[in-house]
Amino acid sequence: MLSRRSAQLAYRLLTSTSTYRPALQPRLPVQQSGRLISHSTVDPAEVRKFQALASKWWDERGEFGALHAMNDLRVPFIRDNLLSVHSARQMGSPLSGLRVLDVGCGGGLLTEPLARLGADVLGIDPVQDSVRIAELHLSHDPALCGRVRYRACSLEELADEDEQEEEGFHAVVASEVLEHLADLETFIQCCHHVLKPGGSLFVTTINRTQMSYILGIIAAEQVLRIVPRGTHDWEKFISPVELETLLESTGFSVECIRGMLYNPVSGAWSWQQSTAINYALHALKRREEPQSDRVESESEDEAASRSTA
């Protein structure tokens, strides 16, 4: 079997997005509430490394360059899938009137474009420094200030709170987050909890395959040395099939899955058929309760979501 450490590096080339949060978050006891516990299980070395890089979030040609470039795929993906469910309210603001939650927002790289398209976005991230950087960047743009807010917290904390805004979110975006969690099931359940019925879940993450391991190890670590050691945990990666099963059992119906490919030479992402490395996924929260008779409600819901799409 592949050694854990070497496998970690397998995905670095194509996932420089998550390069700086890995060892930190897997140890977060996601199922327990309260940040005090999470702090004590966090590796201080990883936290320091991440804090040092916090200022680099908005440097488009810096360490987070690939994440900036990924917006070229993920923003249209989110926008078009949301538009197919909710028609555009206003020209120039296709997502106006929609409430979106960006989980693991980091410096706000994806939060701001979604807000520019008119959505009201809440960005959350457990790392305080990232949230600070995100707020600083946001503060200069008065047009966005009214539509974006940030909180340094985890998803479970958000889900636990009494919802002041009872209706829930129209969409939850978890981009480059799933591969860092300790407890994926609880995370998905929290996503389900905060979403409105019929709401969308958008995920971009990395597959657990030999292909991505080989590319990541050989290209990223040994040959190009693009990323530092120990940033990813290959064991935590999830294949689309596993994810789909988990989602379906939690009350989601998966609408589409698309493969993504990063070209390190051009620094650009593109869609591809194969989901062997990176992929994006869109799922809808089924309108009925997941505990009810799943066979009937699934087909009913598929018909309902197809008719609303």
Partner 1 sequence: MLSLGRIRLAAAAGRPILSGTGRGCARGFSSSELEEEPGRAESDVYDIVISGGGMVGTAMACSLGFDPHLQGRKILLLEAGPKKQMDKAPEVFSTRVSSISPGSATLLSGLGAWDHIVKLRCKPYQKMQVWDACSDALITFDKENLQDEMAYVVENDVIVAALTKQLQTLSDQVEVQYRTRVVKYTWPRPYQVADSIPWVQVTLASGQTLQTKLLIGADGPNSMVRREAGIPTVKWNYDQSAVVAVLHLSEPTENNVAWQRFLPTGPIAMLPLSDTESSLVWSTSHQHAEELLQMDEESFVDAINSAFWSNENQSELVEAAGSLFRTALTILMPNGTSTRQLPPSVAGIGPKSRVMFPLGMGHASEYIRHRVALIGDAAHRVHPLAGQGANLGFGDVASLTQVLSQAAFNGKDLGAMQHLLEYETDRQRHNLPMMAAIDLMKRLYSTNAAPMVLLRTLGLQATNALPPIKEQIIAYASK
Of 112-171, binders to partner 1 (CB under 8 A) are: 112-118, 128, 131-132, 135-143, 145-147, 149-153
Name which of 3 and 266 has its Cβ closer to partner 1: 266
Name which of 22 and 108 has its Cβ closer to partner 1: 108
Name which of 59 and 167 has its Cβ closer to partner 1: 59
Site mask, partner 1, residues 24-63, x = CB under 8 A?
----------------------------------xxx-x-
Q: Which of the 8 DSSP states describes residue 272? A: E
CB 182 within 8 A of CB 26: yes
Name which of 59 and 235 has its Cβ closer to partner 1: 59
d(CA 269, CA 236): 23
Of 256-275, binders to partner 1 (CB under 8 A) are: none
* SS3 letters across 203-217: EEEECCCHHHHHHHH
Q: What share of the chain is helix, strand, coil (3-state, %, to 5)?
A: 45, 20, 35
Question: Applying CB under 8 A, which of residues 33, 47, 51, 75 lies at the interface with partner 1?
Answer: 75
Which one of the spans 13-21, 106-114, 155-163, 207-215 is the region binding partner 1 (CB under 8 A)? 106-114
Name which of 100 and 247 has its Cβ closer to partner 1: 100
| Cα distances (angstroms) measured from residue 266 to each of 167, 222, 273, 280 | 42, 20, 19, 21
How many residues in total does the chain contain? 309
Q: Which residues pair with 149 in a beta bridge?
A: 122
| Cα 239 off chain centre by | 15
Amino acid at 147: R
- Cβ 75 to partner 1 shortest distance, Å: 5
Instruction: Enumerate binding residues for partner 1 (CB under 8 A).
Output: 58-60, 62, 71-72, 75-76, 79, 90-94, 112-118, 128, 131-132, 135-143, 145-147, 149-153
